[in-house]
Every structure is written in C-alpha cells, then in structure tokens.
Amino acid sequence: SKRPGRPVPGTDFEPVAPNTADAVVIPRGYEQDVVIRWGDAVEYGAPKFDPAKQTAAAQAKQFGYNNDFVGLIDNGHDSWLMVVNHEYTTETQMFPAGTYDANNPAREHAEIAWAAHGLSVVQVRRSRKGGLEVVPSRYGRRITLNTEFEVRGPAAGSKYLKTSADPSGRRVFGTQNNCSGGVTPWGTVLSGEENFNQYFANANTVTDPAVAQRLARYGISGGASTRKWERFDQRWDIAAEPNEVNRFGWVVEIDPNDPASTPVKHTALGRFKHEAANIAIARDGRVVVYMGDDERFDYIYKFVSSGKYKKGTSAFARRHNSSLLDDGTLYVARFTGDSPAGEIDGSGKLPADGEFDGTGQWIPLASGNKSFVDGFSAEEVYVFTRLAADKVGATKMDRPEDIEPNPVNGRVYAALTNNTNRGAAGKPAADEANPRTNNKNGHILEWEEDRGDAASPKFSWRLLLVCGDPATADTYFGGFPKDQVSPISCPDNVAFDPYGNLWISTDGNELGSNDGLFSVPVEGPERGHVKQFLTVPVGAETCGPVITSDFVLVAVQHPGEDGTPTAPTSHWPDGGTSIARPAIVSVWKSGR
C-alpha cells in the first residue's frame, strides 16, 4: 500500500529505528557533534569542569544542568546567540558517589544547584566540521537562581508577591524549572517556569484555608522539600516566607543581545506550570502568546496584547515589543467536539465523521486591571490563574506541553504529552479533544484561528496525531498509512523547519525504547507521515529542538537519569567511565 508521494523538503532521510543505545543515533549520511555540555565555559573566567571538585562559583560561570529549551538568534555571518534553559538539577547524579546525602545535603550542594538552574547564553558559529561551536564572547551569560529579575505587568507589586526580602513585590532573585520557551520576533527569549512547586517546603503548616487551597491547586504540599534548600535560605520555607512561592510560575523574558539587561517576569501571561510561550502576530499587529500548563487536566491559554508590534530587533523595538506583554487580555481555551459524545468511548477509535475535531472558543479571564471571573480580582486571576480558569468551563487537557504557531501555514500545534488518569475513577472522562482513557502515549492537536487571525475569539481544531505504536488500533497518523510511520510516544516539544514541517521531540517513551526527534509533514499526501530523525541516549529526554535547512539542534536532557553514581546507565557523551552530562548536539548532512 505504499503511496507514491515525493520526498518532502526537510524530511528526506531514512528513519532511525527504535533502540536503547547509550548514544545519539542519527540517520545514515548525517554527522553529529556536541556543541556544549554541562560544566563547559559560558562566561569569561569559567574554570575547567571537574565533577569531583565542583563549586558554586565555578558552576555560576559554566553551562548549567539539564538543558531543555534551545533558541537561536541570528547574529549574521553564520553566527548566532544560543539561549538554553536549565530546567532542574539531579543532585544524586551530579555529585560523585558517596559525597551527596539526600537527607543531609551540605550548603555547597544547594548553592551549586542554584547556580546550575536558570539559563545560559553563548555565541555559536558553524564549525569547520559542519556543526555548531561555541565562540568565547562578551555575550556569554549565566542566569541563575541568584540573578535579579524585574516583575512587570498588572500583578507587579501585588500584595501576593511581597516578601520580607522584597517589600516592593517587584524584584525576584532567579528563575527555576525553566522548561521550554520561544524566540520572539523581536529577538528575545521567553522561557516557562514549570514545576516550581517541588522547591518549596512546609506547605503543611498553612492554616488559612484559602491559602491552603491555592497551594494545593499548584501541587505544593507536605513538609521538607526534596532538595532541602529551606535549610539554607528561608525563602524556600513557606512557613517563613509565604509569598515567595507566588514569585515563580511565570513566563520570563531574556534579552541575550544585552548582557547587562535585567530579565523580566511577565505577570500578564498568568501564573501556572508554564511549559513554554510562543508568539504569533495578529492581523492588526497585536502580539499573541500561546501557552500550555503542563499538568494532567490543565489548560491551554493565550494572551493578546493591547498595543501593536513594531517590526525589528533594534534595542528600541525590543523594549517596545517586550512592553506589549505587560498589557492585554489573558484567555483560556474551551474545545467542543463535533461528533456525538457516544462515539467518543475512550478507546481512541475514530468517530463516524473520521476525525477527532470540532470548534473552540477563547474565554477571557482578565484584561489589564479588569477581571472577568466571579470572585477573583484581576490581580488574583494573574497570580492564581489555575483557580480562575477552573471557574469558567475551560477544557481539561492531557498535559499541554509546547504550543507553537506554524510560520508557513499559520495553524497552531500543541503537544499533549500523556495523561494516564484520563477516564480513571473520579477523573474526567475522554472527550473528543482528549479521546483516550489511560492516555499513555499522548497526541498532537492542530487548530486554526477564525479567519486565520491569531487574535480571533474562536477557532476550529482537529487531532493531527494520536500517538503510540502504529500497529495498535488506538493510534492515528493524520490519515497516513500506519504501516509506513515511525512509532512515537509522549510528544513534548514542537518546532518547524523552514518548509513548515512539524518536528516533535519526546519525553518518556512508553514503547520501551529511547526518546527521540521526529518529523511530520502537515500538508499534502505526506500529512501524518511520522519519521524518526534521531534517538537520544538511555535515560534521556529529547529537548530543544531547532531545525534549520542546514542543521538540527537537540538538547539531550538527563542522560542516564535511571542510574546512580554507583550504578550509572549512561556515560554519554564522553564515554568510558565518565559521568553523564546533559548537552546540546548539532546534526548535519555529510559533505555539506
């Protein structure tokens, strides 16, 4: 049943087979190289990495741990500023065997971890081999949990954001759990603060029921935190600093072109477990930001600015456009299926009309200082966005991860990574937008705003992929013959190549092989033809990615996370008996 089909630009490679190698496995005819790895120099004066003698001062100048988002900003002459998020630390792997006691960490362990979080900015250029290499430069910058951020937008200075260290509620030290992100049209980077809940201790001491309810809705509970940072800085102790936790869970903006700039937390974009933030420009020039809240049964959001975009990447344009993210309307999505509810039985079987599809609506939550949600002030909508969205009938999704508008066809693509609680006792049942109970493998949602205008209040949608093993009946690949596609599980990050093909990186492959990167055309006879471009080493998650016509970048996050220092499962990328190191890899076609 092979379709004739021509090779689609950008996806003309022989797919990689599923595997469990401790390597990045790429198609035949391609080459790879590490661009930068945990501990490599970022700022001038960074000492050489020595995992046995790591210090916080060294880490603060070196590439951080667990790279996730990768953004490239063109600097001309085959040179770019590369911005990378460092989502979290894995102390039990970072420190040599026997030197880290999770029950009794030392202050230096905490301070190294604070310095290993955040972001890195480095300058990169094409290497002689064909990949990318780091160029030491004045743009080299680490942003850590000690870097000062400015809080902007309608909740800046809110009573919910004031602490004893910052009575203004406008200055926060650091960013954490930065998962994915996006490059703005004006040349800055947006980055999502995701699972910030895990760093805060002693929520169980809270007696005010309203405060306890808010903490619970954000997954903040219990006594001591996993990393026990509360022993070294009371801001991590909710009993001592009840509002510090409200200062995380935002979208932050970094201006890599200005190494002295103060990064920003944008409160107008709401507070939740932000996966990422990506921008489209509306017909009339307003800026639209798409965002997912990565939790089972949480929501998809968009923000529409009040003011209009000014084209360009000058310092003036960057300042103007960044300020647009501080005033606008925050919306949450409701998806309505067009097939009878009885045809959506949770099995993943297609309804009679042949598609999981329907229409949708953007429900406004707040605009500037005006709230649209009963019982919530505007300030409360921004700081406790999840609870406000709960009130308005938004659709509970299967863990919204990265969401990105396709620059070629204008449609928007969202990764719903998985939700094994879908349809469980006492939990929401399958619906047409989340059509499988016990959704282990996730799906990809595609929508088109009315009239193709990103600012529209309505849209139409369909599922592009229902992921998993194509040999099983509960999967769907855009109508493409399933015997010709690569298996794919747990989509996380999405990106587009210059031809508008969708690329998907995965996290948590439920099919028993390593995670990887996949391409899939979204137009024409090849729509839905998923092909695996690479796999990452054992225990790792595939992040980034960046797809250009000349090379591909992926972030290999947490290689060997299933091991320990005494029983490592990965020695990637340095091999031998070396410690596994999260790293960015470039891949290019041989003989370019």
Residue ranges in contact with ligand FEO by CB under 6 A:
87, 179, 194, 275, 294, 401, 492
91 binds, among ligand FEO, Ca ion, none (CB under 5 to 8 A by kind): none
Q: Is 340 in the site for Ca ion (CB under 5 A)?
A: no
Other C-beta atoms closer than 10 Å to the C-beta of 167 total: 10
Nearer to ligand FEO, 54 or 178 (CB): 178
**Encoded amino acid at 530, one letter:** V
Other C-beta atoms closer than 10 Å to the C-beta of 438 total: 15
CB of 192 to Ca ion, least distance (A): 9
Please tell me the number of Cα atoms within 13 Å of 370 on its side-chain side.
6
448 binds, among ligand FEO, Ca ion, none (CB under 5 to 8 A by kind): none
Please give the Cα distance from 39 to 48 (Å, whole number).
8
Query: Smallest Cα–Cα separation from 308: which of 331, 342, 283, 343?
Result: 283
Nearer to ligand FEO, 179 or 464 (CB): 179
Stretch that binds Ca ion, among 284-292, 304-312, 490-498, 552-560 (CB under 5 A): 490-498
Stretch that binds Ca ion, among 178-186, 312-320, 445-453, 560-568 (CB under 5 A): 178-186
339 binds, among Ca ion, ligand FEO, none (CB under 5 to 8 A by kind): Ca ion
CB of 588 to ligand FEO, least distance (A): 27
87 binds, among ligand FEO, Ca ion, none (CB under 5 to 8 A by kind): ligand FEO
Position of tokens 């050489």? 48
Of 72, 116, 155, 179, which lies in the binding site for Ca ion, with binding defined by CB under 5 A? 179
Nearer to Ca ion, 387 or 416 (CB): 416
CB of 534 to ligand FEO, least distance (A): 19
State both tokens at 385.
């966005």
Stretch that binds Ca ion, among 3-11, 332-340, 464-472, 496-504 (CB under 5 A): 332-340
Q: Which stretches does DSSP call E strand in 309-350?
A: 328-337
Please give the Cα distance from 195 to 88 (Å, whole number).
9
Nearer to ligand FEO, 208 or 562 (CB): 562
CA distances from residue 333 to 196, 419, 459 in whole angstroms, order as listed:
23, 18, 10
Please give the Cα distance from 543 to 515 (Å, whole number).
10
178 binds, among Ca ion, ligand FEO, none (CB under 5 to 8 A by kind): none
CB of 75 to Ca ion, least distance (A): 27
**Encoded amino acid at 56, one letter:** A
Nearer to ligand FEO, 22 or 194 (CB): 194
446 binds, among Ca ion, ligand FEO, none (CB under 5 to 8 A by kind): none
Helix, coil or strand: residue 367: strand
Q: Is 357 in the site for Ca ion (CB under 5 A)?
A: yes
194 binds, among Ca ion, ligand FEO, none (CB under 5 to 8 A by kind): ligand FEO
Nearer to Ca ion, 241 or 432 (CB): 432
Residues 6+ away with beta carbon under 8 Å from 169: 151, 156, 157, 158, 159, 160, 161, 162, 163, 243
Which residues in 538-575 are b (16+ Cβ under 10 Å) and which e?
A: bbbbbbbbbbeeebbbbbbbbbbbebebeebbbbbbee
Q: Which stretches does DSSP call E strand in 368-426?
A: 370-371, 397-398, 400-405, 412-416
Per-residue interface string for the shown chain with Ca ion, residues 495-534, x marking contact by CB under 5 A: ------------x---------------------------
Nearer to ligand FEO, 251 or 287 (CB): 251
Q: Is 338 in the site for Ca ion (CB under 5 A)?
A: yes
Other C-beta atoms closer than 10 Å to the C-beta of 104 total: 9
Please give the Cα distance from 544 to 563 (Å, whole number).
23
Nearer to Ca ion, 193 or 492 (CB): 492
357 binds, among ligand FEO, Ca ion, none (CB under 5 to 8 A by kind): Ca ion
Q: Is 353 in the site for Ca ion (CB under 5 A)?
A: yes
Q: Which residues bind Ca ion (CB under 5 A)?
A: 179, 338-339, 351, 353, 355, 357, 492, 507
